[in-house]
Amino acid sequence: MSLQNNKVVVVGAGLMGTGIAHAFAASGFATTLVDSNGQALEKAQQGIYKILDDGVKLGKVEAAAAEAAKLRLSIQTDLTAAAAGAQLLVETVSENLAVKKVVLAQAAAEMADGAIYATNTSALSVTEIATAVARPENVVGMHFFNPVHKMKLVELVRGLATSDETVATTRAYCDAITKQSIVVSESPGLTTSRMSALAGNEAMWMLQEGTATAEDIDTALRLGFNHPMGPLELGDLTGWDTRLAVLKYLHQTLGDKFRPCPLIIKMVAAGRYGRKTGQGVYKYENGQRVPGSGMKGSAL
């Protein structure tokens, strides 16, 4: 039986669940999106329809394929009903260990034998989440990137009990939804958050030391390394408050090279989180960056 005949349940209809449910429905899977909040479900369904309709307008998706994808998608507030007989669960509810464990336990009681339970957690332990079910070898991390319909990568996270078979089948699901997967042993920050935190922190150290202006540091990485965005503009987009929380965690777990730059601590104390507060390393007006507004260095 091909994977495409399998029934997929995506739990959590927020930012990530919307994109993940779209990816499976558009790739031929009967997909049920579940959320305890009916309004979130309606919004997610509209969001998925919009991604499909935009794809048609841009000539990337055939109109008939978009309509078929819409028909393959259903929404449901009752997890027990949605999980009955499903072969793959992708859990992407809020980043809370207790909530994630309850979702897995509840779904596992209804799902098919040998079903895979994947979690999209950004930072929680897959090993710990796996203790919620009787078959922890079937639990794997499936870490997608935002926006899911544009980002090709999925980091598969192997917990202590995750079996080779589970990793292989989950990779096959990634292939089926045209995502490129990599496999990472459970560790703080996986590969992406760990690298990104280090680069953003180092860029801030350079800014603090007055090595170069913010604009020049970002230009260096964009034009010198072909990065689509510099580390400081990316930090403004992610939010330096989030960045600081990640750095503190990595510092605690992986050691001194992740010690947060004092300039980040100072900016967070001042409420300069980035785009969302109108000021970070750069200033923003009406959502647009103010030209020439980057910090000039020697900021301490």
Per CB under 6 A, residues contacting ligand NAD are 11-17, 34-37, 40, 92-95, 99, 103, 120-122, 143-144, 146
- Smallest gap from Cβ 145 to ligand NAD, in A, equals 6
First to last CA, the chain: 63
Residue 175 CB coordination number (10 Å): 13
Which residue's Cβ lies closest to ligand NAD? 14
- The residue among 93 and 156 lying less far from ligand NAD, judged by its C-beta, is 93
Q: Are 235 and 203 in contact (CB under 8 A)?
A: yes
- Smallest gap from Cβ 13 to ligand NAD, in A, equals 5
- The residue among 37 and 178 lying less far from ligand NAD, judged by its C-beta, is 37
- Smallest gap from Cβ 96 to ligand NAD, in A, equals 7
No. of H helices and E strands in the chain? 12, 10
- Smallest gap from Cβ 172 to ligand NAD, in A, equals 21
The span from the CA of 248 to the CA of 258, in Å, is: 7
- The residue among 122 and 163 lying less far from ligand NAD, judged by its C-beta, is 122
User: Virtual CA dihedral for 83, 88, 92, 93, nearest 10 degrees?
Assistant: 20
- The residue among 43 and 283 lying less far from ligand NAD, judged by its C-beta, is 43
Place of tokens 């009406």: 286
The span from the CA of 217 to the CA of 203, in Å, is: 7
- Smallest gap from Cβ 265 to ligand NAD, in A, equals 23
